[in-house]
Amino acid sequence: MARTMARTIVGIDVGTSKICTIVGQIGDGRRLNILGVGMVPSRGIDKGVVVNIDDAATAIEASLEKAERASGLRISHAFVGVAGRHISSLNSRGVAAVQNPDGITRQDVARAVEAAQLVALPTQREIIHVIPRTYVIDGNDGIRDPIGMSGLRLEVETHIITGEAMAIQNLIRSVERAGVQIDDLVLQPLAAAEAVLSDDDKERGVMLIDIGGATTDLAIFAQGGVWHTGVIPVGGQHFTNDIVYVLHTPPNTAEYLKLRYGSAIAGNPPAPGDESDLIDAETLTVGEKQQISAHLLKQVLQARAEELIELIVAEARRSGYEGMLPAGIVLTGGGAQLSRFDDLLRDDLGLPVRIGIPGGLGGLTDSLDSPAYATAVGLLRWGVRYGGRPPEQSSSDDTSSLYERFRRWLRELLP
């Protein structure tokens, strides 16, 4: 019996606070084995957007080098996550006449999806994903897979995700300047969903909340597909900055205090004179120490957490699908590590809430047991589901179709 040739897939999560490259391999049994991980602090990235191509490319290259040393493989292609406040989405419907009397073909579906893309977009925006949600054949809705079915008129409901073209182009240039061609750009919450959501979650109805460094990305799934995506301009760095401003500590100290002593629920205040509430910490003045109140620290974090939850609720209401979440909420991203944020969210929304941690992996998995790695692992799973390259096909001479698409767009925009 012939063995399936192992495929190597690489994911690069370019975030505001960190850049993480993961190398995976899939062979017989379709089990994803982790071969190497490279994580470095971000540079040249602000609010999920590249603001300095040279700095971003240098950081990406450093992440790649670490992953290459760990895996022993040269990285030439990768699936890359995209996020940021410039991302937006809309729903659109496309219609096509069925041309084959023997049944609907893939070509009919492609024409319907192409028709759904004919929406008016500002000049500076570009489509990233067009995701079919459901199909209608001759007025009969709720159809998941129309291929082979009989009918005269095919309609498709799609979810379209767009981004600012220049922001996307700068991300592409940064990755390619680091020596890597892009297999596909993937919206980060969609990638994270591949790592932490089951098919049953998506079928029943679930909201994925990915709390990144500068933004919180949302994706609502129902009936097996994505129905809404959104971006909230609040992330983990806002919690850290609040500690800096209120408690007058350096950013590194504030981040440590948040993760070590912080909580999204402050609880009851300590008794007067209770010294167990005091924490030794650095001040903004080099060499000076101070004692801060753990309860005050938690109050600061709870205030920001409640604000974020209000924004999440508002986004869910705006989507129109807030009542379609029997599977509840899955929290992921680095910001999901804040103690008791899941409890606060559960109490406020009255829905099941769990922390989404990547699972079902083999190989070097010890360092990935955290919601902070959901997007990077999800990029690998996206590659498994939608395409990956055998090692001998990974050549820097290949030209990315994605890059060609943007080159054509630039030629039209800048004659």
Kindly report, residue by residue over 22-32, the tens digit of the pLDDT: 999 986 667 89
- Angle in degrees, 0-180, between the axes of helices 165-177 and 53-71, rounded to the nearest 10: 50
Query: pLDDT-based confidence at 379, cuts 50/70/90?
Result: very high
What number does CATH give the domain 236-303?
3.90.640.10
Express each pLDDT in 115-132 by its tens digit.
999 998 888 999 999 999
Is 413's pLDDT higher than 70? Answer: no
The fold for domain 88-164 equals: Dna Ligase; domain 1 (3.30.1490)
Per-residue pLDDT, 391: 33
- CA–CA distance, 176 with 204 (Å, rounded to integer): 39
Per-residue pLDDT, 402: 46
Secondary structure of the chain as H, E, C letters: CCCCCCEEEEEEEECCCEEEEEEEEECHHHCEEEEEEEEEECCCEECCEECCHHHHHHHHHHHHHHHHHHHCCCCCEEEEEECCCCCEEEEEEEEEECCCCCCCCHHHHHHHHHHHCCCCCCCCEEEEEEEEEEEEECCEEEECCCCCCCCCEEEEEEEEEEEEHHHHHHHHHHHHHCCCEEEEEEEHHHHHHHHHCCHHHHHHCEEEEEECCCCEEEEEEECCEEEEEEEECCCHHHHHHHHHHHHCCCHHHHHHHHHHHCCCCCCCCCCCCCHHHEEEEECCCCCCEEEEEHHHHHHHHHHHHHHHHHHHHHHHHHHCCCCCCCCCEEEECHHHHCCCHHHHHHHHHCCCEEECCCCCEEECCHHHCCHHHHHHHHHHHHHHHHCCECHHHCCCCCCCHHHHHHHHHHHHHCC
Average confidence score pLDDT of the chain: 89
For residue 149, the one-letter residue type is M
Of residues 60 and 47, more confidence is placed in 60
Rounded average pLDDT over 61-81: 96
Answer left, alpha or beta for residue 234, where phi above 0 means left and psi between -120 and 50 means alpha.
Answer: beta
The fold for domain 199-234+304-355 equals: Nucleotidyltransferase; domain 5 (3.30.420)
Asked, colleague to colleague, whether 88-164 and 236-303 share their fold, the answer is no
Per the confidence metrics, is the pTM higher than 0.85? yes
Rounded average pLDDT over 362-377: 90
Is 101's pLDDT higher than 50? Answer: yes
Rounded average pLDDT over 292-304: 97
Query: Which residue ranges make up each domain of the chain?
Result: 7-85+166-196+358-413, 88-164, 199-234+304-355, 236-303
Rounded average pLDDT over 280-293: 91
Per-residue pLDDT, 29: 66
User: Is 7-85+166-196+358-413 assigned to CATH 3.30.70.3270?
Assistant: no
Query: pLDDT-based confidence at 77, cuts 50/70/90?
Result: very high
Cα 204-209-213 angle, rounded to 5 deg:
165
Per-residue pLDDT, 5: 59
Is 407's pLDDT higher than 50? Answer: no
Rounded average pLDDT over 77-99: 94
Rounded average pLDDT over 304-315: 96
- Is the separation of the CB atoms in 98 and 136 below 8 Å? no
Per-residue pLDDT, 272: 86
Per-residue pLDDT, 62: 98
Count CA atoms within 13 Å of residue 323 on its CB side: 1
Per-residue pLDDT, 276: 87
Express each pLDDT in 163-187 by its tens digit.
999 999 999 999 999 999 999 999 9
Percent of the chain residues past pLDDT 90, beyond the cut: 77
What are the backbone angles phi and psi of residue 391, rounded to the nearest 5°?
A: -55, -40
Is 396's pLDDT higher than 50? Answer: no
Rounded average pLDDT over 378-406: 57
